[in-house]
Amino acid sequence: MIIIPAIDIKDGKCVRLAQGKFDRVTTYADNPVEMALTWMKKGAELIHIVDLDGSVAGLPRNANIILDIVGRIDVPVQVGGGIRDMETIRFYLNNGVSGVILGTTALQNEGTVRDACAEFPGKIILGIDALAGKVAVRGWTQTTEKNAVDLARHYEKFGIKAIVYTDIERDGMGTGINIKATKELAKAVNIPVIASGGVAGIADIDNLCAIEDCEIYGVIIGRALYTGAVSLEEAIRKSKEFC
């Protein structure tokens, strides 16, 4: 299991939201590029970046910062937020981004996901953000009646690289990963699952490593890294030894 530091960008700064709410924002760094360099130096194998402004606008808002990060670090970068069409997908993937995350698009435009998977095999990630098991879209500002597992199963045949599964209620709250829901999703599909939302401490890494019957590909950690509740080096060591 790989440990994936998160960099969420809003108004050009590195922030974390509580439960995805834009009125509950904490700024942790003024320079996301320096933050990415820090995580790289601490041993990160992959960095997860979200353009929060883009997720609401429906198009990239912090692409210049993201591409600056890509150009200055030697670690793969996966990007989400405001990626709704082939033009944006091509823009990122043709400029060094290793994978793009499609969330809103996956629910609203199946054709775009199909075309993206065909044109960029192994680089398209399905983002499923769930509130009480139901998928939310447009930067978590709109909820739907679509079940998270059903959406994941629908895209199994498309050649999706991985699924980032985020429990919105736990995201940024430090209340612990939703092990039950993450395991249910991982067991339901043959797509690698990346857990996200709520990592509180190193115990969450232990709990994910202890899951039986299925493998969790990775875990995204945000607030816990920024507050010091989790050491990136320790989390990586644990994941290498026990997962």
Of 8, 167, 171, 204, the active-site residue reads 8
**At 91, phi and psi to the nearest 5?**
-55, -50
**At 44, phi and psi to the nearest 5?**
-60, 140
At 211 the three-state DSSP class reads coil
Of 233, 228, 224, the C-alpha closest to 16 is 224
- DSSP-derived secondary structure letter, 156: G
Instruction: Write out the DSSP string of 1-36.
Output: -EEEEEEEEETTEEEEEETTEEEEEEEEES-HHHHH
Beta-carbon contacts of 237 under 8 Å, excluding residues fewer than 6 positions away, are none
Of 1, 2, 26, the C-alpha closest to 227 is 26
Between the CA of residue 30 and those of 9, 38, 75, 202, 239, what are the distances in Å? 10, 13, 21, 27, 30
Active site residue 74: no
Q: Which two tokens stand for residue 170?
A: 């736990």
Of 51, 53, 129, 167, the active-site residue reads 129
Of 18, 235, 4, the C-alpha closest to 125 is 4
Active site residue 129: yes
- In sign, the C-alpha dihedral spanning 23, 132, 49, 39 is positive
Show which residues are catalytic.
8, 129
